[in-house]
């Protein structure tokens, strides 16, 4: 993956025909300390696609645009989600069965 400034990208692909905001591609990241990450977003002027939401498999995510209108999704690290399940009293076997069921949907 490569992120470039508009000027250098125009030279790289030898065209001025660059379009932003197509909503047809996203970059996805995972964050270990999701709550702090979301709190820190409040310090910036951000255009959200959607605020924090929880998927059916209980992973929390936030989706926003970068300044060039590319989609960025940041999710809670899956290991953190599993740790939350374990801390709630689920056995490792139950966590595994929940994940296998949810990913088969």
Q: How many independent structural domains does the chain possess? A: 1
Q: What pLDDT digit, counting tens, does each position of 28-58 carry?
A: 999 999 999 999 999 999 999 999 999 888 8
CATH code: domain of residue 41: 3.10.180.10
According to the model, what pLDDT value does residue 62 have? 97
Q: Is residue 61 part of a domain?
A: yes
pTM of the predicted model, to two decimals? Answer: 0.75
Q: Are 77 and 31 spatial neighbours (Cβ–Cβ below 8 Å)?
A: yes
Q: Is residue 49 part of a domain?
A: yes
Residue 7 has pLDDT above 90, yes or no: no
Distance CA 28, CA 63 (A): 9
Q: Could you tell me where the beta strands, DSSP code E, fall in the chain?
A: 26-31, 48-54, 60-65, 71-76
Q: Residue 34, exposed/middle/buried by CB under 10 A (0-12, 13-18, 19+)?
A: buried
Q: Give all strands of the β-sheet with 26-31 in edge-to-edge order.
A: 26-31, 71-76, 60-65, 48-54
Q: Which structural domain range is residue 67 located in?
A: 26-99
Q: Judging by DSSP bridges, how do beta strands 60-65 and 48-54 pair with one another?
A: antiparallel
Q: Is residue 32 part of a domain?
A: yes
């Amino acid at each position: 993956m490569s992120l470039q400034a508009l000027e250098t990208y125009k030279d790289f692909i030898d065209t001025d025909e660059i379009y932003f905001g197509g909503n047809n591609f996203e970059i996805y990241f995972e964050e270990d300390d999701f709550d702090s990450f979301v709190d820190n977003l409040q310090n910036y002027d951000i255009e959200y696609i959607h605020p924090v939401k929880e998927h059916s498999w209980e992973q929390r995510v936030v989706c926003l645009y970068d300044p060039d209108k590319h989609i960025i999704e940041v999710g809670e690290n899956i290991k953190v989600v599993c740790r939350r399940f374990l801390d709630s009293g689920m056995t490792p076997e139950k966590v595994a069965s929940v994940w296998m069921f949810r990913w088969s949907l």
